[in-house]
Structure 1
């Protein structure tokens, strides 16, 4: 390949990676944690009492329909189980454009709760919005995923000529730039299939409908979504009949659904036009089969219980199989614990990939014959440290706030730490800011076990008596990550004192 062409690919790889890298760092770090979303929800609930009266799905459905008749148009019921010990109901209020969440409180009284208010929900949101407003952040991340794909393609083109020669090369020595370059390359190449899946599935899941728009309006004359309806829903939408029909009890719907699809472990029920003769209840749940996706569904007439359609994973039409499979690949919803741990490690490795990419850009553009470095280099260094390390420290602060502060302060705790870290990185020398912010990450993360002990009143090993090791595992990994941040803080300070004096990471002799 010509040198000029390689320079174009290098420019694309560098600038696309720089533009998307910091947002992708947050997405990957938060995504690595959200792989264990159900385990973290167990950690979140530890020590918080749950009223027995809240465990009745039928009482919740009846209460929501009685208090909010408009919810009959579309109510999503989450059953007790993997998603928590109590049922919850969600309704998108079209009049206000807001999703509303309901549960039963003490004595069976209907309570409206803030949607996505828990710290695990917020970490999950960080994964695909980076803390930006939900709709805007989701669409922005769709664009970022496309840029991410460009960075992957250009990186492969650049690295392909020396792929076998340098694949396992990690030259540790005084040339720190070469060592970081080797680490960046080997992590990128070895985890390339994972990154391809994430770039592709991330774009489809966030802006898939936007990407379909040209075909919908220019090719299919507005009929494409109608043609694709069978690939999105278990049963096609039917207009209301206008004839009232009482909804069958939840228990009866579950019984009929399991008869229609034996082995289905129902996790949720979607009521559509409930109370109408054409109303439907669609049951979703796990159905173990030898498929990448293991989600099955049964659509019933909500009033008569008549079977409309039943689909197991092996019966999906091609479009639905593709979409559900892509979702399973993105979230790691297959392969049980082994895949979760693999995704966790690859998520942290991905965060390192974007962090190291920015550091390499900074190092490549420094002035080697003078102490004073260009303003743009100092700005990128400050933003890289502030955004990346600020998000790490902010997420650790979320864990502390969940156990020690009122629920209303959860999100504020993240943003206070995040923006304080960015401000600190902008006013301190990069070497000092990196050292101090890594210390902040280490301290906040190391305090997670103590905060959980104080918040629950029980030691980390208390759950072992009941066969639950979640607390112990979460606390142990918090200490491992705290140790890693402490070692990185020491290495940053040592680099500042002993490294090249004409570097943005150097400390003046009087500060060393």
Structure 2
């Protein structure tokens, strides 16, 4: 390949990586956490709420009855989550059509209905962070789709530029005084070894973020505004119908589950979507998984909630080709296959991907410094401040969201933005070396506070959780302590680099 072509691909790889790198850091760091969203939902539960009820279906029925009694308007749309994969206790989501908001309800220890702000503003916020980088929806989602396209360009250009030389030195991590070379080796090795997964993330992320936007031309130019109606079976399990405004009682949850099992015995039901409860046109759609050797294992059974009659059923074998591809991309993107081993693999890949983008920015800064003068170019100082503020601000902010979830439910969102904004401002005002050391110390502190906050919030320490077999609590706290130690070691290394490294560097302490 000609030298000019290589320089073009190198420039493309560098600038696309810089433009998308900081947003992708947030996506990968938050995405690594959301892989275990079900387990994290159980992290802050305590007392009876941490135990599986003797009659899970009866408990779910009681929750639904209490919700409809206190909030009759919730009958328009409720999603009932059964005990099991999503936690030991049932929960109910009420989707308010008037406001577009989703409200989550669970039981208190005294069997009283409560609105669970922990579930709304904690796990869901981190999930939104993965797709929007903290920007408002839907703008943030669509922007992230564009970022994923740039991400794909960076992958292609990186392979063109580095693949011929990386194959020979793929596992070479050259330690020594040349820290830049060590970081370069680590960056290249992680990038090449995880390349297949990054291709999956870039492709699936772009499709999931921009999918609805891509349907707009077909909706209005090809199908005369009827495309979304044709896709209702794919999205909801059956075509939607309007309320008849004729009162008719709904069958009990146990009876709906019995009839759903009769229609599709292999379906392991995880939740029930109920629409127009108490109306003659009430629908109940049972969602779950079908254990089989397929990437997509999702299935559903739609029943008439008043009579129990079967309306439709969808399984991986009966899905349309487009829905098979979409559900497969979702499974690949979130690691919803292969059980625990794949979840841990995706968690490691998420953290490794975050390091990939962080290290890429640092390498760009280091490669453009002036080695024979003390004053460094403004562009390197600005990029150093943005990299530290955005990346380390995200880490500290996410850890603060965990702390808020345990001590101040409902305050996770404003606390994240406050911590993130403060870190970004601090990185812009301080020397990069000092800001890096101080912000890494903050990351270590906030992450180490997660087990303590959980202990104060629910009265169960890490050791007590281990003794009682509350393994979700144990693993979250243990990983938090391990990450806190890693951030602390990085803070010490950053300070040592500032004191003992090259004086003609943006990372030097002057």
Following the alignment from structure 2 to structure 1, what is the Cα–Cα distance between the partners of residues 248 and 397? 50
Deviations 1:368-409 (A, max 9, x none): 221111112111101111111111122222333333x33243
Moved more, 380-389 or 447-456: 447-456
Partner of 1:247: 250
Deviation at 1:92, TM superposition (A): 3.0
Deviation at 1:234, TM superposition (A): 2.0
Is the contact between residue 91 and residue 106 of structure 2 (CA under 8 Å) also seen in structure 1?
A: yes
Partner of 2:427: 425
Partner of 1:483: 485
Deviations 1:354-379 (A, max 9, x none): 10111111112222221111112111
Deviation at 1:99, TM superposition (A): 3.0
State how 1:234-273 maps to structure 2 within 5 Å.
234-240=237-243, 243-273=246-276
* 1:94–1:384 CA distance, 2 compared to 1 (3 A): same
Partner of 1:198: 201
Deviations 1:101-133 (A, max 9, x none): 444557766555558534233222222222222
Following the alignment from structure 1 to structure 2, what is the Cα–Cα distance between the partners of residues 229 and 166? 51
Deviation at 1:466, TM superposition (A): 3.6
Following the alignment from structure 1 to structure 2, what is the Cα–Cα distance between the partners of residues 298 and 399? 36
* 1:43–1:89 CA distance, 2 compared to 1 (3 A): closer
* 1:454–1:272 CA distance, 2 compared to 1 (3 A): closer
* 1:64–1:477 CA distance, 2 compared to 1 (3 A): closer
Deviation at 1:270, TM superposition (A): 1.4
For 1:270, what is the secondary structure of its paired residue? strand
Deviation at 1:299, TM superposition (A): 0.8
* 1:271–1:358 CA distance, 2 compared to 1 (3 A): same
Match for 2:312 among 300, 309, 314? 309
Partner of 2:496: 494
Following the alignment from structure 2 to structure 1, what is the Cα–Cα distance between the partners of residues 36 and 355? 20
1:350 aligns with 2:357: no
Is the contact between residue 78 and residue 93 of structure 2 (CA under 8 Å) also seen in structure 1?
A: yes
State how 1:28-107 maps to structure 2 within 5 Å.
28-46=28-46, 56-65=59-68, 71-103=74-106
Residue segments in structure 1 that go unaligned for 5+ positions in a row: none
Partner of 2:25: 25
Q: CA RMSD in A?
A: 2.7
Is the contact between residue 121 and residue 410 of structure 2 (CA under 8 Å) also seen in structure 1?
A: no
For 1:212, what is the secondary structure of its paired residue? helix
Residue segments in structure 2 that go unaligned for 5+ positions in a row: none
* 1:411–1:492 CA distance, 2 compared to 1 (3 A): same
Is the contact between residue 116 and residue 122 of structure 1 (CA under 8 Å) also seen in structure 2?
A: no
* 1:447–1:238 CA distance, 2 compared to 1 (3 A): closer
Match for 1:464 among 448, 463, 466? 466
1:378 aligns with 2:386: no
* 1:233–1:401 CA distance, 2 compared to 1 (3 A): closer
State how 1:442-457 maps to structure 2 within 5 Å.
442-457=444-459
Partner of 1:151: 154
Following the alignment from structure 2 to structure 1, what is the Cα–Cα distance between the partners of residues 44 and 116? 16
Following the alignment from structure 1 to structure 2, what is the Cα–Cα distance between the partners of residues 49 and 239? 37
Is the contact between residue 117 and residue 410 of structure 2 (CA under 8 Å) also seen in structure 1?
A: no
Deviation at 1:350, TM superposition (A): 0.2
Following the alignment from structure 1 to structure 2, what is the Cα–Cα distance between the partners of residues 102 and 453? 23
Deviation at 1:208, TM superposition (A): 0.5
For 2:411, what is the secondary structure of its paired residue? helix
* 1:453–1:242 CA distance, 2 compared to 1 (3 A): closer
Deviation at 1:144, TM superposition (A): 1.6
Moved more, 376-385 or 405-414: 405-414
State how 1:119-268 maps to structure 2 within 5 Å.
119-240=122-243, 243-268=246-271
Q: Aligned residues, how many?
A: 507
Match for 2:282 among 279, 283, 293? 279
Is the contact between residue 118 and residue 409 of structure 2 (CA under 8 Å) also seen in structure 1?
A: no
Is the contact between residue 461 and residue 469 of structure 1 (CA under 8 Å) also seen in structure 2?
A: no
1:14 aligns with 2:14: yes
Following the alignment from structure 2 to structure 1, what is the Cα–Cα distance between the partners of residues 169 and 131? 33
Is the contact between residue 63 and residue 92 of structure 2 (CA under 8 Å) also seen in structure 1?
A: yes
Following the alignment from structure 2 to structure 1, what is the Cα–Cα distance between the partners of residues 10 and 243? 57
Following the alignment from structure 1 to structure 2, what is the Cα–Cα distance between the partners of residues 355 and 297? 41
Following the alignment from structure 2 to structure 1, what is the Cα–Cα distance between the partners of residues 452 and 337? 33
Give the TM-score normalised by the residue count of structure 2: 0.91
Partner of 1:360: 363
Is the contact between residue 100 and residue 115 of structure 1 (CA under 8 Å) also seen in structure 2?
A: no
For 1:297, what is the secondary structure of its paired residue? strand
Moved more, 208-217 or 370-379: 208-217
